């Protein structure tokens, strides 16, 4: 249960595939080609994510970068961009992590990874010792996503900073 909770919190649980109802009315070949492209995209993404979970951050970052070149606006693109930031964060390269998280926010404004990316930006600023920037980011998270788990964490971090 704890693993599932953590995975859902950081957004690593598998995204739902679009329903077959959306593909009704398309010729069978076109629907099959779309499903095959989707499964190829998912396979490439899952391979990069597997590398990430193995702790091979540099290799994972390269794989996610290749994924984004192939699928710049696809179903998993916001996640891939987020994981690039995570690779840098886990390597202790907080400046680059902040920049990569910013790409999630700017390039995928409606993406599901935005609260996570903002929170992680704040955590990275905090790791760098920039309490003022961290505080501003944490305040943005609580304001923009008030009922999210990320907002709860941001509120706790704000109390730590004060």
pLDDT of residue 70: 94
CB atoms within 10 A of CB 135: 18
CA pair distance 20, 135, nearest whole angstrom: 44
pLDDT over 80 at 11, yes or no: no
The CA dihedral of 41, 113, 57, 3, to the nearest 10 degrees, is: -100
State mean pLDDT over 68-77: 92
pLDDT score of 115? 96
74-97 pLDDT, tens digit per residue, is: 889 999 999 999 999 999 999 999
CA gyration radius for the chain? 17
Residue 35 CB contacts under 8 Å (≥ 6 apart), including other chains: 23
Asked if pLDDT for residue 119 goes beyond 70, the answer is yes
Side-chain-side CA neighbours of residue 39 (13 Å): 6
Which tens digits make up the pLDDT trace of 13-40? 444 333 333 344 445 555 555 566 667 8
């Amino acid at each position: 249960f704890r693993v599932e909770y953590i995975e859902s919190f950081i957004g690593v649980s598998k995204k739902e595939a679009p329903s077959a109802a959306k593909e009704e009315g398309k010729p069978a070949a076109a629907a099959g080609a779309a499903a095959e492209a989707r499964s190829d995209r998912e396979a490439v993404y899952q391979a990069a994510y597997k590398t990430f979970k193995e702790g091979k951050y540099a290799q994972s970052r390269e794989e996610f970068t290749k994924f984004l070149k192939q699928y710049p606006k696809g179903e998993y693109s916001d996640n891939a961009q987020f994981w690039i930031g995570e690779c840098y964060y886990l390597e202790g390269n907080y400046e680059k992590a902040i920049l990569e998280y910013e790409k999630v926010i700017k390039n995928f404004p409606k993406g599901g990874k935005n609260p996570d990316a903002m929170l992680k930006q704040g955590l990275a600023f905090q790791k760098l010792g920039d309490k003022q920037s961290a505080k501003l980011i944490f305040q943005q998270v609580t304001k923009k996503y008030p009922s999210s788990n990320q907002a709860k964490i941001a509120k706790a971090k704000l109390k730590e900073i004060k």
